[in-house]
Amino acid sequence: MTNIQRRKFLKYTGGSVALTGLAGCSGGGGSEETTEAGETTASEGETTASGGSGGDTINVGMVYALGGLGDKSFNDMAHRGVKQAAEKYDVEFQNAEPSGPSDFKTLQQRFAQSTSPDYDLICCIGFAQTSALKETAKQFPDQNFMLVDSTVDSDNVASYVFKEHEGSFQIGHLAGQITKMGFEAGAGKTNDAGKIGFVGGLEIPLIKKFQAGYMAGNKYAHEDNEVTAAYVGSWTDPAKGKEIALSMYDDGADIVYHGAGASGIGAFKAAQERGRFAVGVDADQSKSASEYKDVILASMVKRVDQAVATAVENVVNGSFKGGQINALGLEKNGVQPVLGQQLGSSVPDDVTAALEESRKAIIDGDITVPTKPGDV
């Protein structure tokens, strides 16, 4: 065991030499810098062991979220990210899919303790891994981790979160404009009621961010527009998702936006039944769930693939920074509204122009998007 620890120690300190130059950029991490500096001096002269000359293959471990690969959304996006990195650089990756929440820690530990290969980065996909990673990161202080959709305050964890509220603001802005105009495309038609709906999965802060941005964007489009919001209470209950969406449509809503995982498929079904519109989430669902493309107005795409690819790239370049929260917003297209593949072309130009304007305003800080529905 001591031998293993020594190896990892050397590897890490090798990396931290490269880090110290960048430490200034991270800003405010006083304690981080001191620990890194301390360890660097401790292993002076030995850093050649893994100086990161670029010749070594970078090994990446992937621990996916519970939905698993093949979900056509969140996990597949992460998988795409690591594949992209593997095509570009000398990177090899190993996938691990948990069968339950109790597997997160086991899989993280399995990667972290491995010595052949010695994983340079472990990507933990999904907020559900947060509490497991808190412990694993503490147990393996020399191992680099990245976490998507949540934050762990540890020197060896780079957290990637998305400004879903910004992307949702744009969706709200789009929907708020469409609902006020006589819009007809594909299998849907608005009734000019100025009403839209939101279906969430679980009522947690992450999903409330979607709701808050959506509500704010809708209000930005037309001050007197209305939003009704409801939560399914599950990620995997399309029947209930459909029920909720149907009641919203029957109440006059023209467009329903979902942030409900697989339950959201029910909203698409409801839109087809009532001849209205729906908005997808995470991936471009007019493509990944193409049987509903005739009602999917747009999707709020979350570029999980970019987060993973960037983290791997940083490790390859020796610029990986732990203890940092990377918030991906509209400016780098970390989140972006993507119009549906069938309906997109029918959206009037003045609507898309207005969207482009609000996008710039958010990036420039002229519009501040709330993250809590109560603040809208």
Query: Where along the sequence are the contacts to other proteins (CB under 8 A)?
Result: 1, 66, 94, 96-97, 99-103, 105-106, 109-110, 112-114, 127-128, 130-131, 135, 139-140, 150, 204-206
Q: How far is the CB of 94 from other proteins (least distance, A)?
A: 6
How far apart, in whole angstroms, are the C-alpha atoms of residue 126 and residue 375? 26
* Residue closer to other proteins (CB basis): 52 or 126: 126
R_g over Cα of the chain: 22
User: Cβ distance 278 to 254 under 8 Å?
Assistant: no
Q: Report residue 182 as tokens.
A: 């006589």
Q: Count CA atoms closer than 13 A to 325's CA, side-chain side.
A: 11
Please identify which residue in the block is written with the tokens 């009602």: 295
Element (H, E) at 300: strand 296-302
* Residue closer to other proteins (CB basis): 84 or 130: 130
Q: How far is the CB of 75 from other proteins (least distance, A)?
A: 14
* Residue closer to other proteins (CB basis): 109 or 288: 109
How far apart, in whole angstroms, are the C-alpha atoms of residue 250 and residue 255? 11
* Residue closer to other proteins (CB basis): 102 or 345: 102
Q: How far is the CB of 206 from other proteins (least distance, A)?
A: 6
Q: How far is the CB of 240 from other proteins (least distance, A)?
A: 15
Q: How far is the CB of 355 from other proteins (least distance, A)?
A: 29
Please identify which residue in the block is written with the tokens 């503490």: 138
Q: Which residues contact 6 (CB under 8 A, 6 or more apart)?
A: none
* Residue closer to other proteins (CB basis): 97 or 243: 97
Q: Is the peptide bond preceding residue 98 cis, with omega within 30 degrees of 0? A: no
* Residue closer to other proteins (CB basis): 39 or 97: 97
Q: How far is the CB of 196 from other proteins (least distance, A)?
A: 25
Q: Report residue 136 as tokens.
A: 């694993």
Q: How far is the CB of 210 from other proteins (least distance, A)?
A: 13
Residue 294: DSSP 8-state: T
Q: What single-letter amino acid sits at 320?
A: F
* Residue closer to other proteins (CB basis): 110 or 287: 110
Q: Count CA atoms closer than 13 A to 85's CA, side-chain side.
A: 30
